[in-house]
Amino acid sequence: MDVLVIGSTRGTGNLVVHHLLDRGHGVRAMVRSREQVAALEERGATAVLGDLEGSLDGVVPGVDAVAFCAGSGSKTGPDATLRVDLHGAVRVMDACVAAGVQRFVMLSSIAADDPMRGSARIRHYLAAMHARDRILSASGLSATIVRPGGLTHDPGTGRVAVGLPTLAERGSISREDVAAVLVGCLERDDTVGATFEVVAGDTPIDDALDEVAASVS
């Protein structure tokens, strides 16, 4: 499978690149500058220039699936969240529809079902996640929406807890485990149509994704 990873240079998206390559998949990694190409291509990915606020020409056509893991960052403010996290994601969805690329896995956020579940400090971000998740669900794409809790840099455990669609309590999860969940969803067509929250837990990821698949079967 050839997967386009949006948000490939850092954080969870970069871990998704590594997981996909380790599992034998082809990776097209979108980058904003030529300076970011070498590190990804040395790892085995194919880098392609694109910008969520600029040109996406040639970025999407020819892949089998898209993993959207990009974000403007916590320090950029509400305006950048709207431009990048919301409008940029919708532009990629539109490009997928135009190119006939159906499979789409979205990295969202816990509490995106109801932004009022979050603190006042991040409600603008959760509102953007809520809007783009709804747009993706209505797009006609074969989508899976993954909503992790607070992201940590701890080593992955390979074990999680999932809420279908929500968890009773908020929690945290390592970026490594989130990346493994996203790749697991890409590899399983039976997760298409699922939206779920995920935090650290005791259930092996494959078994947790069985639960996810059962919720949409």
68, 104, 125, 196: the catalytic one is 125
111's CB contacts (< 8 A; 6+ apart) are 117, 118, 126, 147, 170
Residue pointed to by tokens 């697991």: 184
- Of 170, 176, 53, nearest in space to 109 by CA: 170
Q: Looking at this protein, which amino acid is placed at residue 36?
A: Q
Is there a catalytic annotation at residue 36?
A: no
> What is the 3 state secondary structure string of 129-190?
HHHHHHHHHCCCCEEEEEEECEEECCCCCCEEEEECCCCCCCCEEEHHHHHHHHHHHHCCHH
Report the helix count and the strand count for the chain, using DSSP H and E.
7, 11
Please say whether the beta carbons of 159 and 207 come within 8 A: no
φ, ψ (nearest 5 deg) of residue 197 = -95, 155
Residues annotated as catalytic are 125
